[in-house]
Structure 1
């Protein structure tokens, strides 16, 4: 390696893979969450850096582009989107690389981003990767990387301020014949120049009740309104605490991550068709005039065998029926979540709730492959029989014994697009995605994840309370109803039989102990 330092952390990259079958269900537990941003602020910052190249320190220009929310609620996690990092290498730096025998370079970046709120501070690492580029014979070179970044949660009211800090550029150098260049991987360390404007400021996101209130996201054609604002504040008391940075894709095992365990075991051993993934998201709860959160939850999926779909002169069509299950502490349910909301607009109610399956979750997927341009289109309907269970309740500060059987009187329901073939009470979610062979998927695909949307009706509650203190009507009046829009996000799946682990230039799909590598962030 001739003294070249190999990067200690590994930047993420989602591999492009053609999905051949289905998708699976996610659904929101009916617990109010903090408000989400209505819009975004676009950032394109150009910053001066000093980088240590083999011949010595040289100036470099770094451009960071991203979209931040206009505002966020205290206690609400969000991730900047569309993040790109462009490192403009001077001609002298390019000459250094060619002198090492390199003809191509593949870049991965690790940008340290400081996150401050009031007097508290934390750090996040923004990772990005790029495809190999040919080094020019002379002149400068721009290397642009993209990638997902950690989510950030403001713990109290006050601006969350994001500032660029140290940058590491990992370079995988290639020779003209396609082999690895003799020096091997090279890491270039860069620091913000002393004359950088505003100490590397990228953006400031207002957080809390003093931030401008959103008007709500636009609705898709033919769909209900998107998830709306909060019906309550954050669960924790306000105060000056460090912003919470949640890495969505740390390496190693999943033991210390901000997510429940998600693995197969002797009670449910995997098969050659087994996948697992994390899911999360929001839904509107119309009666509470707010949105509710599904905590990060584990799904175990068994892929079906694709069969021929209906004839199509322009596509190869495959239909697949698969099955998915929530998995938490050995049961088919979500983790419990405690939340506080205002019933009838004035009565504070704190509830702990979970979603439980009453039967198998059915995944109907149709994949259409167009050979003329190698485009794959996937459409998926997910049908899940789920009841909402309340395990603890406190009204106006007074605990009430809800008993062991406080649930919706029947499973939650949705409008059914095909009632003749799929009778019964279940939630229906829909996902659509596209993927050109060799490129990343857009929308929803089973292997790469994405958004699923739908509409849910919450039935009346029953079995709530003990003795003479029946509170079924309170819960029914404050929560039950129709037209609640749902948007759920699935992370990248882990294929248990063929796991993909992280490398310096590729984001893993599985942790070392075969749990999902990616932890998704809910979106509105």
Structure 2
């Protein structure tokens, strides 16, 4: 959309420098639908209202895509040839001119509601665009393309796709090719409530599969289950947070469970569509969260899911911490009498777990860095030292207050990267040279490099507890320094300095959310905490 501009720095090198920019949620959970026989082509022009710097303005959003004309239970539905065109009015061009922007690069995130048999989940259709020059006067059309999540279903019935909110991230460049001031603009668009047409995109009939024995269009056995309350996922906000506080919004998540949402028990029939990640190699119907089952659980063992966001200050954006499994071995609580009252202290050991390794699941990063080609990377957070959860509760009945600190030695590893779809060989050992580090409040007791997260809790008997508690979970926050990288590159090409210059540095705010734990080692674990196969029932949702 925008022509190339002169530069003194090769674009390939610049793209490498951005390779690890922002982490993106792997497409999560919910229910499912099927393979195509023929193609249903969709070309929908929808009325939206976009919040521009000059105020709310009408806009047209045109969505084109190809769907299978029909499908069967258990087969993949993969919308293809998806294009989102945002036709912004002349007022948008005037706003860009006022910001001294000569070029824009767009990234879009369209929330799409996927529904079947009264159940619904949200998916995010993401797209990126080539740079385009800002015209002398409006309007301005921004055309983005990209892969979208795959959908499968375990029940027969019509599967509907409906367009929802649209987020548009704009990277702004001045006439001389340097970033404008500000360097980015986030535009939120919503369907026009006064327009005659709504946002339906397509309906795909899903017939029973060979082994379902279910009449076509019959309700799913799980129709009595409560529908997902998740709204269509929010979109990207490349503007970021400048103050090191609340994490900036990164690329949107797809179909996440809400806070405290329960996952169906193992083996229970699903009734809503399941949205799988659009990344290459993603399998239909795959679990949206990693397995979190401790085969060596003791009566004091807890298992839980964690997720969250982290800023990358240098890149003025936010990363998602993927839903990950953690095993916690509770320590023996102790009582200490201090001048302010009785304290109950406990230190527990913890470990990340993914397929037998102490790490998060590998996850895709997709990002737009000003002036760079679209870049994706596969990354992992790897535990290389101890992890602990230490809590200190002041018990002044009926008021109980607590502080909790999580300490973990984690390195960030880059497994692979692609620039404009072309593989970039980062080698087998690309990682931070030491663990992510935080300012340690008690360095004499806890030496060495490690991350520190802090959470507080409070309970006034008989009311429920609020804030963070080890068993019920909650929010933990902290700030980390991303160390320099080492081992990046292959074939004699050293990419360490490029990665280090791009993202390493201090002041990266983290907000981690832990879900309700599962007492996995009990003879009869509580079913409101655990699935039938002793995995955590609650899947937390990241919060900014």
Counterparts of 2:440 and 2:358, CA distance in 1: 23
CA contact (8 A) 2:333 2:345 kept: yes
CA distance in 1, matches of 2:443, 2:461: 34
Identify the residue that residue 258 of structure 1 maps to in structure 2: 288
Aligned-pair CA distance for 1:277? 0.3
Q: Give, in angstroms, the shift of residue 207 of structure 1.
A: 5.3
Following superposition, the deviation at residue 470 of structure 1 comes to: 1.5
Change (3 A) 1:441 1:217: farther
1:293 matched to which residue of 2?
Answer: 320
- How far off its partner does 1:459 sit? 0.4
Q: 2:125 aligns with which of 141, 151, 155?
A: 155
Out of 422, 426, 431, which is 2:455 matched to?
431
Does the CA contact (< 8 Å) of 1:347 and 1:395 recur in 2? yes
Q: Deviations over 1:229-287 (max 9, x none)?
A: 33xx569xxxxxxx84647313322897421100112xxx1112100000000010011
Report the Cα distance in structure 2 between the residues aligned to 1:258 and 1:308, rounded to whole angstroms. Answer: 41
Contact 2:375 2:419 in 1 (8 A): yes
Match of 1:401 among 419, 425, 439: 425
1:17 counterpart residue number: none
Which string of whole-angstrom CA distances, capped at 9 and with x for unpartnered residues, describes residues 266-323 of structure 1? xxx111210000000001001111100111100000010111235145x321221111
Higher RCO (C-alpha under 8 Å, 6+ residues apart)? 1
Secondary structure of the structure 2 residue equivalent to 1:390: strand
For residues 4-83 of structure 1, what are the structure 2 equivalents within 5 Å?
31-33=22-24
The whole-number CA distance in structure 2 between the counterparts of 1:207 and 1:496 is: 34
For the structure 1 residues 406 and 368, does the alpha-carbon distance in structure 2 shift closer, same or farther, using more than 3 Å as the test? same
Q: What are the ranges of 5 or more consecutive residues in structure 2 without an aligned counterpart?
A: 1-19, 26-109, 128-162, 166-190, 199-222, 269-285
The answer as to whether partners of 1:151 and 1:246 remain within 8 angstroms in 2 is no
Q: In structure 1, how many angstroms separate the alpha carbons of the residues matched to 2:255 and 2:116? A: 7
User: TM-score, normalized by length of structure 2?
Assistant: 0.54
Contact (CA 8 Å) 1:356, 1:387: kept in 2 or not? yes
Q: Distance in 2 between matches of 1:227 and 1:412?
A: 17
The residue aligned with 2:37 is none
- Please name the residue that 1:304 is paired with: 331
2: CA distance, partners of 1:496 / 1:317? 27
Give 1:476-495 correspondences, 5 Å limit: 476-495=500-519
**1:516–1:406 Cα change, 3 Å:** same
Tell me whether 1:360 sits opposite 2:380 in the alignment: no
The whole-number CA distance in structure 2 between the counterparts of 1:214 and 1:478 is 16
Counterpart for residue 262 of structure 2: 249
How many angstroms does 1:471 deviate by?
Answer: 1.1
Match of 1:434, SS state, is: strand
Distance 1:330 1:367 in 2: 33
Q: Is the Cα–Cα contact under 8 Å of residues 123 and 245 in structure 1 kept in the other structure?
A: no
Task: Specify the alignment match of 2:487 in structure 1.
Answer: 463
Superposed, 1:212-231 pairs within 5 Å as 224-230=244-250
- Contact 1:282–1:522 (Cα < 8 Å) also in 2: yes
Distance 1:359 1:208, change over 3 A: closer
- Where 1:276 maps in the other structure, the secondary structure is strand
Deviation at 1:393, TM superposition (A): 1.4
Deviations 1:428-487 (A, max 9, x none): 000111123443221100111100000011001000111222111121111111100000
Q: What is the CA–CA distance in structure 2 between the aligned matches of 1:279 and 1:367, rounded to whole Å?
A: 22
Equivalents in 2 of 1:216, 1:393: separation in Å? 23
Whole-Å Cα distance in 2 between the matches of residues 427 and 257 of structure 1?
29
Query: Any idea what the Cα deviations from partners look like across 1:143-199, whole Å, max 9, x if unmatched?
Result: xxxxxxx97444369525899xxxxxxxxxxxxxxxxxxxxxxxxx99xxxxxxxxx
Residue of structure 2 equivalent to 1:338: 364
Whether the aligned pair in 2 keeps the contact of 1:31 and 1:338 (CA below 8 Å) is no
CA contact (8 A) 1:263 1:514 kept: yes
Matched, 1:417 2:447: no
Structure 1 residue 523, shift from structure 2 partner: 0.5
1:218–1:226 contact (8 Å) kept in structure 2 = no
The farther-off stretch of 476-485 and 431-440 is 431-440
Q: In the aligned structure 2, how far is the partner of 1:350 from the partner of 1:274?
A: 37
SS at 2:348 equivalent: strand
- Counterparts of 1:231-242 in structure 2 under 5 Å? none
State the partner residue of 2:300.
273
Provide the secondary structure at the position in 1 that maps to 2:325. strand
For residue 352 of structure 1, report the CA deviation from its aligned partner. Answer: 0.7
The Cα of 1:370 is off from its aligned counterpart by 1.5
Q: Judge conservation of contact 1:343–1:478 (CA < 8 Å) in 2.
A: no
Q: How does 1:139-178 map to 2 (within 5 A)?
A: 152-155=122-125, 158-160=163-165
Instruction: For 2:233 and 2:450, locate their aligned partners in 1 and report how far apart those are by CA, in whole Å.
Output: 39
Change (3 A) 1:312 1:423: same
Q: Match of 1:379?
A: 403
Tell me, yes or no, if the aligned pair for 1:353 and 1:389 is still in contact at 8 Å. yes
Shift of 1:31: 3.7
